[in-house]
Amino acid sequence: MLRIAVPNKGSLSGPAGEMLHEAGYQQRRESKELRIVDPVNEVEFFYLRPRDIAIYVASGRLDVGITGRDLLIDSGADAEEILPLGFARSTFRFAAKPGTANGVEDLKGRTVATSYEGIVAGHLADSGVDASVVHLDGAVETAIELGVAEVIADVVETGTSLRNAGLEVFGEPIMKSEAIVIRRTGADGEEPKVQQFLRRLQGVLVARTYVMMDYDCRVEQLEKAVALTPGLESPTVSPLHNEGWVAVRAMVPAKEAQRIMDDLYAIGARAILTTAIHACRL
Ligand SMILES: Nc1ncnc2c1ncn2[C@@H]1O[C@H](COP(=O)(O)OP(=O)(O)OP(=O)(O)O)[C@@H](O)[C@H]1O
Ligand SMILES: O=P(O)(O)OC[C@H]1O[C@H](OP(=O)(O)OP(=O)(O)O)[C@H](O)[C@@H]1O
Ligand SMILES: [Mg+2]
């Protein structure tokens, strides 16, 4: 049985559960459940604090886990990223009252408040800057107003929390994060159960990013049409009953579907349809 760690709370929890559900796995029915078995798929899910997931996976007791890249790095645990999942995207940045600092080099002798002590201490050390780090559990933006620190380092997505606190980011982003799948560093990457789990999640990612496009076009226009819709491998081309026409089928990125439909129409393609992909194995 594959043992998988899933975030039980916070920004990662909802989207992780949705993705696992879309991948065909049974998920917990209520948020108090800490562990469920999905006997059909032979997996067991452990709902754990997002911050703790890298530690469990590094211990080898759980095979894989879903967490944030920033949380993995912050933990310092012996685990590695094996698949980015495209949700809970954020950047990790320094922020302060306008005019306080322009870059990490200005932090010498100052105090930085953060919930991500591991990332911040590592970044300061890499930059050769000697500053103090104060650990806070959350709502870090308030630390400056209340005089606990002059600078914070925190997750930024829309920037609303910073604006509301009258703060501005400064310096280069410390890191970019998103939800990821992790496993213990050096664990057997070919393990069939792990590979199957990753293929299912990759299938969800593809189904979310691509649509299926079908259209008819004249044989003379086929090369131009195929250049617009190269598909992942190569498009399927089938003869139509009407001589001189073919039907083409290819996956295209969902974001580009409307532009591609316009371009296909312009070269004479007709009956252009797009349909959603519900599941996929590449
Ligand atoms: N507003 C946000 N937008 C996108 N990702 C976020 C946001 N806030 C946190 N994250 C990401 O979620 C992960 C942190 O999850 P965690 O559950 O510890 O914190 P949280 O979502 O802030 O929840 P809480 O603060 O309620 O405990 C990190 O990977 C972080 O980058
Ligand atoms: O740039 P934004 O879109 O505003 O998002 C970033 C904010 O979201 C998270 O806070 P959360 O609500 O989880 O509270 P916390 O600070 O207590 O973790 C994070 O810690 C930032 O404060
Ligand atoms: Mg938070």
CB atoms within 10 A of CB 42: 11
Mean pLDDT calculated for residue range 128-148: 97
Cβ neighbours of residue 239 under 8 Å, at least 6 residues apart?
245, 246, 247
Could you tell me the pTM of the whole model? 0.93
Question: What is the C-alpha separation between 164 and 121, in angstroms, rounded?
Answer: 26
Instruction: State the average pLDDT for the chain.
Output: 97
Whether the predicted pLDDT of 29 surpasses 90? yes
Query: What is the pLDDT at residue 207?
Result: 95
From the alpha carbon of 11, which atom of ligand 2 is closest? 13
CATH 3.40.50.1470 fits 210-276, yes or no: no
Q: Averaged over 184-211, what is the pLDDT?
A: 94
Q: Is the pLDDT of residue 43 over 90?
A: yes
Q: How remote is the C-alpha of 27 from its chain's centroid?
A: 19
How far, in Å, is the centroid of ligand 2 from the Cα of 156?
7
Among all bound ligands, the one having the nearest atom to the CA of 163 is 2
Q: Cα–Cα distance between 227 and 282 in angstroms, integer?
A: 21
pLDDT at 262 over 90: yes
For residue 181, count CB atoms less than 10 angstroms from its CB and return exposed for 0-12, middle for 13-18, buried for 19 or more: buried
- What pLDDT sits at residue 110? 97
Ligand 3 centroid–CA 241 distance in Å is 59
- pLDDT exceeds cutoff 80 at 146: yes
Please state, in angstroms and rounded to a whole number, the distance separating the CA atoms of residues 27 and 21.
6
Atom 31 of ligand 1 has which residue's CA nearest to it?
A: 90
pLDDT the model gives residue 73: 98
Beta strand 270-276 with 210-218 is: antiparallel
Q: Which residues pair with 213 in a beta bridge?
A: 250, 274
Residue among 88, 141, 89 at smallest CA distance from 114: 141
Mean per-residue pLDDT, 113-140: 98
pLDDT of residue 282: 83
Residue 139: count other Cβ atoms within 10 Å of its Cβ.
Answer: 11
Distance 80 CA to ligand 2 centre (A): 25
Q: Is the pLDDT of residue 205 over 80?
A: yes
Domain boundaries, the chain: 2-87+178-187, 90-175, 210-276
Ligand 2 and 163: CB distance under 6 A = no
Domain 90-175 carries which CATH code?
A: 3.40.190.10
CATH topology match: 2-87+178-187 vs 210-276: no
pLDDT tens digits, residue range 117-128?
Answer: 999 999 999 999
pLDDT at position 190 over 90:
no
Any idea which residue has 């590695």 for tokens?
80
| Options 3.30.460.20, 3.20.20.370, 1.20.1260.10, 3.40.190.10; CATH of 2-87+178-187 | 3.40.190.10
Q: pLDDT band at 188, cuts 50/70/90?
A: confident
Instruction: Take atom 9 of ligand 2 and give the residue whose Cα is closest.
Output: 155
Q: State the average pLDDT over residues 86-111.
A: 97
Contact 133, 142 (CB under 8 A): no
Radius of gyration for the alpha carbons in the chain, expressed in angstroms and rounded: 24
Interval between CA 215 and ligand 2 midpoint (Å): 45
How do beta strands 151-156 and 35-38 pair? unpaired
Q: Report the pLDDT averaged over residues 82-106.
A: 97
Which residues' Cβ are closer than 6 Å to ligand 1? 9-12, 50-51, 68, 70-71, 88, 90, 138, 155, 157, 177
Six-digit token string for 57: 């996976």
Q: Report the separation in Å between the CA atom of 251 and the middle of ligand 3, taken as the mean of its atom positions.
A: 37
DSSP SS3 for 124: helix
Q: Is residue 175 helix, strand or coil?
A: strand
What whole-number distance in Å separates Cα of residue 202 and Cα of residue 164? 37
pLDDT at residue 142 greater than cutoff 90: yes
Instruction: List the Cα angle 87/84/63 in 5-degree steps.
Output: 110
- Look at residue 189 and tell me whether its pLDDT is greater than 80: no
Say what the ipTM of the complex is.
0.96
Record the tokens describing residue 164, joined without a space: 């509301």
Q: What is the mean pLDDT of residues 133-155?
A: 97
Per-residue pLDDT band at 45 (split at 50, 70, 90): very high
Q: Is 114 helix (H, G, I), strand (E, B) or coil?
A: strand
Report the candidate in 244, 246, 212 with the shortest Cα–Cα distance to residue 229.
Answer: 212
Of all protein residues, the one whose alpha carbon is nearest to atom 21 of ligand 2 is 155
